[in-house]
Amino acid sequence: MSAISPILIAIFIGLVCFLLCFWWFGIIKRRQAEIQTGVGTLAAMKWRECVGLVIQSLEKEGYREEISSRQPGDGGTEFLLKKGSALTLLSYKHGTAYHLGEANIRDFANGVQLIGASKGILVTLGTIESMAKDVASRYDIMVIDGNALWPRIEGFLSSNTLDTVRSQASAQTKSKVQLGAAISVAVAVISFFAFGGLGSMDNKEPDKIGEQAKQTIANANKSIDPTAAKLDATAKAMAEVDKLTEAQLAQRKADSAKSIAAMPEVNSAIWYSASTLQLNLNTEKNDDKTLIDQICRILTQHEELRYTRLQLDPPPGSNVPVRFRQCL
């Protein structure tokens, strides 16, 4: 085996390892994080804004809304849509708390028949049971949950909102990509000495090779240790969180909101959803960094609140838009 062969093998193995890590954490997991963050962003919107985006996405598929047919539904809103000459009943359930089952599908199917529509579309930011999806297919009802909805409507959101969602998703997976890169380096180093060590032994330099191996692996470990230690600390903190009761978790959220509401820039702090804290501000300042830093110092005292989404509402009558931030 030539002297360069172990190097090529190590580079190849390290590159394959990195590409696999990047594909899993940098693409698959990042997209999952983006969808989760995006659904949370939609849930923080007013339902009228969100259902407007849903209808816009359906218009691309040839549906047109019958404006005069709007009527309130059970916990959401129902609309009559037309595609060609066929009527379709759209029902929208706003909020991530919805968990729709077979009974919900059958109730909606009855509503579709009563109104004289030929099919139905049931949309929610929450989840839909797999058995319910099977029932929906039998009734010719299209069901769209939060994970399926985000890819449909992300193209209709403002660039600022999309940038915020994507940056938050990237922040959640960045450390895992870095850890994957460090592990790939370590794997390449180990592979090099696994394939090249035997050849080096023939050159009667085992001690030198052994020292080089130890030093190279030690250098690789230095790059791994900080990220690994951080992930280990996070895992231990979440393990402690898992031991808490629902009442204790709720009390921690209530105490955090109370502390934040006591800040002079904040009029009130209310948990809008499980992961979104709505802040009604007393100031119109657009520079949020100092305020966000102070708020995050309170929230990050509890590991389960570390990635809380912050909805910053300006004072009544202000021209400053609603902003969304997140502790990193």
pLDDT digits (tens, 9 = 90+) for 292-307: 888 999 998 888 887 7
Is 185 among the domain residues?
A: yes
CA–CA gap between residue 85 and residue 165 (Å, rounded)? 38
* DSSP classification of residue 204: T
pLDDT at 108: 92
Token reading at 63: 């549906």
* DSSP classification of residue 169: H
CB atoms within 10 A of CB 210: 14
* DSSP classification of residue 321: P
| Residue 29 sits in the same domain as residue 172 | yes
Is 53 among the domain residues?
A: no
Selection from 62, 36, 264 nearest residue 149 by Cα: 36
pLDDT digits (tens, 9 = 90+) for 4-49: 577 787 788 888 888 888 888 888 888 888 998 889 889 888 888 8
pLDDT at 65: 86
| Residue 238 sits in the same domain as residue 255 | no
CA–CA gap between residue 10 and residue 34 (Å, rounded)? 34
Q: Burial of 75 by CB count in 10 Å (0-12 exposed, 13-18 middle, 19+ buried)?
A: middle
Is 13 among the domain residues?
A: yes
In the predicted structure, residue 285 carries a pLDDT above the cut 90: no
Considering the chain, what is the average pLDDT of its residues?
Answer: 81
pLDDT at 325: 82
Is 227 among the domain residues?
A: yes
| Residue 286 sits in the same domain as residue 307 | yes
Is 104 among the domain residues?
A: no
Mean pLDDT of 72-89: 77
Let me know: does 192 contact 199? Beta carbons within 8 Å.
no
| Residue 167 sits in the same domain as residue 308 | no
Is 109 among the domain residues?
A: no
Residue ranges of alpha helices (H) inside the chain are 5-21, 30-44, 47-59, 102-115, 130-138, 146-153, 159-202, 206-242, 246-261, 289-299
- Give the CATH number, domain containing residue 265: 3.30.70
| Residue 32 sits in the same domain as residue 169 | yes
pTM: 0.53
Half-sphere exposure of 223 (CA within 13 A, CB side): 17
How many domains does the chain fold into? Answer: 2
| Residue 189 sits in the same domain as residue 233 | yes
Domain boundary among 227, 242, 257: 242
Domain boundary among 193, 210, 242: 242
| Residue 238 sits in the same domain as residue 165 | yes
| Residue 165 sits in the same domain as residue 27 | yes
Q: Per mean pLDDT, which range of 57-61, 181-185, 318-322 is the poorest?
A: 318-322
Range of the domain at 188: 5-38+160-242
